[in-house]
Structure 1
């Protein structure tokens, strides 16, 4: 068996005896042992690897919180400088805490904004956008296909979701609103309007405009009020192009093809 850094193989290993959480809280370790890797003397298991004592995190609320690494000394007034850390939200998002180097477990008050709700996603408690609860909620899904003979990919169908509307448009500018075909120009509601400008179909709302050209181009234009409040293959519209290559959940992506793949609509069958 090959053991990771700062550990060694033992026929009778008990990782619980050298656990970071056990440094600040009494743990009931099992009496039996098992074949595996044991941390070297002076190193402790943090749930993923064996680390030195100064790299151990915090054990609070009957949970172990790993230390967030920072490249600077802990500020005197940590509450004013918490933005430099990655805080953990607790108590229905009313408290944000960090396990900081040398400073232990430090907490401050927290509240979610009006357009956010406190919930758990992928095991993480966080303030998330209310999404379809908001009156400004919208979602644009583009179905693409390879066009013969050269195999160039182009939009095949466009789906646009709003709070109370579901709109579909195909490449021939046929439009369906909530499953029913409509003729263009068309006014779906007081705010949702369709028009044909040359060979381009334009769907207009106060917060967003979506156009589909006969050449296969799709363009989404959103109101400046939604700056930084959107996500997807087009980026987050925060006027900083350096952070647009992010997949769902804020995962960093290296290139555009992988970015598009990461935002594949899982509720649609692949074309």
Structure 2
């Protein structure tokens, strides 16, 4: 009979072997002998293994632990048992609930420069697109997925343009420039906000979103983000934050489950590409390569090594080097001194998560907070009384104080402006209304505003004929029944929001499409202006309308359906027809596509030689892709480049 190390077989050995805990036989042992393995002379049992007495473990909080590292079951501490002595330190991202220790994983996003995954892998960022940062599937806690959209500014730096957090029946959308408000299922709400499924509030310059299951998002005004997730037995995580399994060697996992060694391939895999939109500024080897001059490397070393406010943190077990490497990655991406500031902010957050206070580390550095007029940076801001909504909606989870901006004496924040207390607005059913604001209730049945002497006034409201009540840019209101996007001179666009865009020739553009390609109402409108048939002496404008099973190409009044010329009027399918007309100023003969649902025109596209007018009903709000916009978020397109269709045959009319 084989026996483990430091033990031997005995036909009749003691049933009550000596164990490390107390160095005696168990008190409830009945004696006698039994066949089995026994520890060799000089060895005793320690958690099922035979060890020398000098290698025995330790008693801690009433429980025996073998020699080595262990986590306390009664307090959030990381402990080490050595030579019978126990030393402990607070554990980062850990809490006690119902007597059980809950460990949390933390994924960090450093603006548009990079990530540190749950398991500690550093990833660079490069791309103006929307990415799946993290998604979790679990029966123990509610599923979620977190999306971040990035844009490229005039200096070539990537920044976060929008955060979207999906949870059960909720979609929460955040603009990093306006952390004092969120959109919940498209409706704008000031923070603090709480509805039973999540809570959102401000702490200093940070927006905190937490769920009852313990998932938390912490986004600062500098675009440093911490995603905190409880470790549960059945969770399956994915996305750029990794799979949260403790193994850093399998974090570069593509959406299809395969591993990669290329950061560029990983980013591309987790990009969210919607119909009619293509992400831009993707990277090649620059995502993997990073070479800095000694002067550039010093940006990270000087600040990280010289900040005495972190002295108490140096020996706390938090890895300092990972933030230095992340800082260097950010410098590679063009962040300059901002890279070191983000690294220090992350290190500060890690220290405070372990209960270690950090002083005013931003002083005498280029990292000071940028505050609005009539406010200034403060190391300790009481967020429960620093804004109008917080004062009028007491009970927020924002406790204590945190660094942030504070208005001058007698003033508080109302959005991003400091106002006297007397100019704060009012609250209707937990919805904050600014003093100069008029708010339609859901369905536009009432319109409400704040009385100058306090309280809320509401009166009945009815939309005008031809208007519809709809949720637009976060607020309910009466809007025209149809909205219009126009293209003229082949390359100039007026979007649904009235924004003007200029296109480039020789490229195919997605002007408008229904994002959901599986919908029976799906359509796509594409334009191309440039040379055809290899002739650069003559430029033409070609429009294509795609429906399920149908392709309509229009050039200079001529129409092809699925590659065949047709005469007008022409019925494409029940409810969908083509007819001829003239545009509003009678300068061009036009082709008009109409798609009707009952008595109502659901889609109308009028195409001339160099112009297009698209009319869509407002119930398409939030469902449209392309350069025209989506009716709900009037600034949904990030750039003209986002509408380019590189693989679309622009000049395919003659085919």
Pick the TM interval, shorter chain: 0.5 to 0.7
**Which runs of structure 2 are paired with 1:27-38 in the superposition (5 Å)?**
27-28=395-396, 30-38=398-406
Q: Does 1:203 align with 2:571?
A: no
Q: Does 1:94 align with 2:445?
A: yes
Q: What is the alpha-carbon distance in structure 1 between the residues aligned to residue 392 and residue 473 of structure 2?
A: 28
Decide which of 4, 11, 32 is 2:379's aligned counterpart.
11
**What residue in structure 2 maps to residue 184 of structure 1?**
567
**What residue in structure 2 maps to residue 144 of structure 1?**
528
Q: 1:267 to 1:168 in 2, by over 3 A?
A: farther
**What residue in structure 2 maps to residue 156 of structure 1?**
542
Q: What is the alpha-carbon distance in structure 1 between the residues aligned to residue 405 and residue 614 of structure 2?
A: 55
The unaligned stretches of length 5 or more in structure 1 are: 69-85, 133-138, 223-228, 230-245, 254-260
- Secondary structure in 1 aligned to 2:373? coil
Higher relative contact order (CA 8 A, sep 6+): 2
Equivalent residues of 2:433, 2:450 under 8 A apart: yes
- Secondary structure in 2 aligned to 1:120? strand
Q: For residues 91-117 of structure 1, give each alpha carbon's deviation from its aligned partner in whole angstroms, at most 9, with x where no partner exists.
A: 421011234656753322113456554
Instruction: Using structure 2 for the length normalisation, give the TM-score.
Output: 0.26
Bigger radius of gyration: 2
- Secondary structure in 2 aligned to 1:125? strand
Q: What is the alpha-carbon distance in structure 2 between the residues aligned to residue 175 and residue 98 of structure 1?
A: 54
Equivalent residues of 1:7, 1:40 under 8 A apart: yes
Q: What is the alpha-carbon distance in structure 1 between the residues aligned to residue 399 and residue 579 of structure 2?
A: 71
- Please report the RMSD computed on the Cα atoms of aligned residues, expressed in angstroms: 5.1
Q: 1:19 to 1:252 in 2, by over 3 A?
A: closer
**Which runs of structure 2 are paired with 1:103-252 in the superposition (5 Å)?**
105-112=456-463, 115-129=466-480, 141=525, 143-147=527-531, 149=536, 154-159=540-545, 168-171=552-555, 173-176=558-561, 181=564, 183-188=566-571, 192=577, 194=579, 202-203=590-591, 210=606, 212-213=608-609, 217-218=610-611
Instruction: Using structure 1 for the length normalisation, give the TM-score.
Output: 0.54
Q: What is the alpha-carbon distance in structure 2 between the residues aligned to residue 113 and residue 131 of structure 1?
A: 14
Q: What is the alpha-carbon distance in structure 2 between the residues aligned to residue 121 and residue 221 of structure 1?
A: 19
Query: In the comparison of the two structures, how many residue pairs are matched?
Result: 211
- Secondary structure in 2 aligned to 1:184? coil
**Cα offset, 1:220, TM superposition:** 5.8
**Cα offset, 1:90, TM superposition:** 0.6
Q: 1:181 to 1:108 in 2, by over 3 A?
A: farther
**Cα offset, 1:50, TM superposition:** 1.9
Q: 1:45 to 1:175 in 2, by over 3 A?
A: same
